Structure 1
C-alpha cells in the first residue's frame, strides 16, 4: 500500500485549492493494518474501543441470516479471546476503560438482554435494571452509563455507579426518550440527547444525581441539536440547527455555547470527537455536499483533506487525528501531515474508528467475503 503525505490547508484557501488542484504529493510505504481475526467458526468481526494499554473490545459473528454477535476482547498484541455472556448465545463489548473493565450487553439463558460489565479477567456481571438494557460508556473510575427499560416498559437512560447502584437519568419536562453519548473520566458528567414533547432533539448533560441540563433550550421548534462527545473537563462538542443546517458548536462546563467557525456556510459541519485540550474534529460539507475532514482548535478551523471526500472521527491527547479519505483509513499528525493507512491484502476499503494515547489505531477493513476488525500499531 502507499501513503499520501501532505500538509493541510486552512479553510480560507479551500476554494483556491480546489481550483488549482493538489500540490505535489510525496509517497511512503506502509505496512497496512493488522487483521484481528474472529473467533473459531465466525466470519466477521468489529472492534469498538481501545484503552491506553492497547486492550481492544468488540464482537465476532458468523456469516448467517440470523445475526449472532459474540463479545470478544483482544490484547495489545491482537490475540482474541471470547468474553462470557450470561448464559445466552449473544453479546457485544462496546467500551473499555484504562484498567481493562469492559461494558456492553449480553443475553441470559432466557434470551433476555442485559447491560453487563466484564472485569479485566473476563468475569461477567449483570448490571441492575428492570428490563432490557445496554451499557454504552464507562469512565476511568468505573461509572457506567447506557440504556434500560422501566418496569412500565418506558425506555430510559441510566447511570450505574462503581458499586453497581443505578440512577435513572432525567428526561426533559414533558419529553420522551434520551440517549447517552459520552462520559467524563471521573464519571461526574454524562453527555447525550433528549427529545422534547414536540419530538425535537436537544443536546443535554446529566450530573451524578441524574439531573438534566438542557444545553439547547432555544431549540424548541427546530429539528435537532446534538451532543456528539464530551471531554474530561466537561466540554461538549455537537451541533445546533439553524435555517435547516447543522452548525458546529461547543458547550463549556458552565453551559455557555461557543460557535465553531465554518466559513463554508451555509453548508453544514458536524463535530465527532473532542480531546482534553479542547481540539474538536469532524467533517464539513463543501461543494456538491461532499464532506471534508476538519479540525477546530484555538488556532481556528483547518480542513485536513481539502480535495477529497473525507471525515475525521477520533483523536488522542497528542492531537493525532484518524478517520478516512475516499473510504480508506487515514491518519493526520498534529501538524496536519496526512497518511493513508491502507486496507487488508485483497481488500479495497478500510475505516479508522478510534485511537489510543500511544497512537494505536482501531478500525475495520474489507476482505473478499466481508469485514474484519483491524488495528494499526503505533508508529
Structure 2
C-alpha cells in the first residue's frame, strides 16, 4: 500500500488577509494492523486518567478516590504514583515541567477556583490566594505560570504571570484579558492571549508585560491560544459569525488553517515546526482529525469510523488523539498517527474490553498518555477509567 502524504498542496501566496490552504483528503489512508499495547499507571483510588507527560517522563493526571473526590496524581516509571491529598478540595492536573513541578487547578466549595504549584519535594504553593479566583493554563520549564485572575472587586478576568513568588497582572489596556489555553508561554518570555476592550477582542503577545496586537483583518476579532519557541501563535479569527483557526507565523504573517467556510475548526496543539493539530467539520457528527502545516491542511485517517480528534503533536510530527471505529460507534478509541498512518492504541487493561479511550499527550520520545474507560460490574459506564501510557513505534513500515 502506498504511503499517504498528509501535506502536499502549496498554500496560496501571502496577502494582507493571510494565506488559506486547501483541505486535503488522503486518497489512500493507511491504518496499520495490530495495536500498541498500553501500560497501566496504577494510581490509588477508584479511577484515574493521565493528561500530560514531560520530556523527563513525569506523567500527571487526575484520580477519583474511593469517596468520590478528585485529586491530582504524579507518576514516573519505576516509582509508585503520588496523589496530592494534602489539599482538601477537588483538584485536577493542568501541566507538568521538566523539573516535575505540577500546575494544579482546585475547585473550592463556594464555587470559586484556585491554582497551585505542586513541587517535586511534595510542598504546595498557592499561586493566587483567596479571595482571588484563578485558572492556571501553562507552566514552563523555568517555573513560570500563565493564569487568569478574577478579583471580586471588579469581577473582570485579567491575564497574569506568576514566577518565583511574584504574581503580576498583565497590561490589558483597562479592559479584560485572558491567557491562551494551548500553551501560552515560550522560553523567549512571550505570553499570548486576548485583550477585550470596548473595540472588541484582540489577540496579543505580551513582551515584558506590554501587549502587542497580532495582525487582524478589517472588521474581525481575534483570540490567541498558544505559542511555540519561534513565536508562531495559534489562535482564531472571527468575522461575520464564522470562526477560523489561524497561525500567526513568527507573530506576523497570518495563515488560515482551513480553506473555505467550514463551520467547526478546533485546533489544540502547535509544535516547534509550526504544525497544528485538531479537528475540522461542518457538524459535530462530521468532525475529523486534521493536521495543518505551512503547505496544506489534511484530514488524518480514522480507525474505520467517520470521526476523529487530534489532541497533541510532537516535534517529529507524531500525533495522538481518538477516532471512532465504525459508523455506529458512540465513543472514540485512542489512536496515534505516525508518518501519516493511523496506529491503533489498545485500551485493553486486565484483559477487559474498553468502551472509550483517548491519547491526550505525547512527548518527543513517542510516549503517549491518556485513559481507558471500561464498563462497570453492572454493564454501565461509570467511573471505571484507567490511566495508561503507550510507547509508540519509532518507525512505521508499509508494504
User: Is 1:289 matched up with 2:241?
Assistant: yes
Does structure 2 conserve the Cα–Cα contact (< 8 Å) formed by 1:3 and 1:29?
A: no
Choose which of 208, 218, 224 in structure 2 pairs with 1:271.
224
User: Is 1:98 matched up with 2:55?
Assistant: yes
User: Is 1:344 matched up with 2:303?
Assistant: yes
| Counterpart residue number, 1:53 | none
| Counterpart residue number, 2:348 | none
User: Is 1:130 matched up with 2:82?
Assistant: no
Tell me: CA distance 1:215–1:338, structure 2 relative to 1, closer, same or farther (3 Å).
same
- Deviation at residue 240 of structure 1 after TM alignment: 1.0
Does structure 1 conserve the Cα–Cα contact (< 8 Å) formed by 2:22 and 2:259?
A: no
TM-score of the aligned structures, taking structure 2 as reference length:
0.71
- Corresponding pairs, count: 321
Choose which of 113, 117, 125 in structure 2 pairs with 1:167.
125
- Deviation at residue 136 of structure 1 after TM alignment: 1.5
What CA distance in whole angstroms lies between the structure 2 residues aligned with 1:34 and 1:157? 43
User: Is 1:331 matched up with 2:291?
Assistant: yes
The SS at the match of 2:324 is strand
What CA distance in whole angstroms lies between the structure 2 residues aligned with 1:161 and 1:257? 30
The SS at the match of 1:133 is strand
Does structure 1 conserve the Cα–Cα contact (< 8 Å) formed by 2:23 and 2:299?
A: no
| Counterpart residue number, 1:185 | 141
TM-score of the aligned structures, taking structure 1 as reference length:
0.75
What CA distance in whole angstroms lies between the structure 2 residues aligned with 1:149 and 1:348? 36
Does structure 2 conserve the Cα–Cα contact (< 8 Å) formed by 1:33 and 1:343?
A: no
What CA distance in whole angstroms lies between the structure 1 residues aligned with 2:5 and 2:336? 17
| Counterpart residue number, 1:29 | 28
| Counterpart residue number, 1:240 | 195
The SS at the match of 2:209 is coil
- Deviation at residue 33 of structure 1 after TM alignment: 8.3
Name structure 2 gaps, 5 residues minimum: 282-286, 341-399
The SS at the match of 1:230 is coil
Q: Which has the higher contact order (CA 8 A, sep 6+)?
A: 2
Alignment of 1:19-58 (within 5 A): 28-31=27-30
What CA distance in whole angstroms lies between the structure 2 residues aligned with 1:285 and 1:232? 29
What CA distance in whole angstroms lies between the structure 2 residues aligned with 1:200 and 1:269? 19
Q: Deviation string for 1:68-123 (max 9, x for gaps)?
A: xxxxxxxxxx321322232x212221211112111122133433322211122362
- Deviation at residue 152 of structure 1 after TM alignment: 9.6
User: Is 1:360 matched up with 2:318?
Assistant: yes
Tell me: CA distance 1:35–1:225, structure 2 relative to 1, closer, same or farther (3 Å).
farther
Name structure 1 gaps, 5 residues minimum: 37-77
- Deviation at residue 156 of structure 1 after TM alignment: 1.9
| Counterpart residue number, 2:75 | 118
- Deviation at residue 236 of structure 1 after TM alignment: 1.5
Alignment of 1:135-150 (within 5 A): 135-148=93-106
What CA distance in whole angstroms lies between the structure 1 residues aligned with 2:111 and 2:276? 41
Does structure 2 conserve the Cα–Cα contact (< 8 Å) formed by 1:4 and 1:28?
A: no
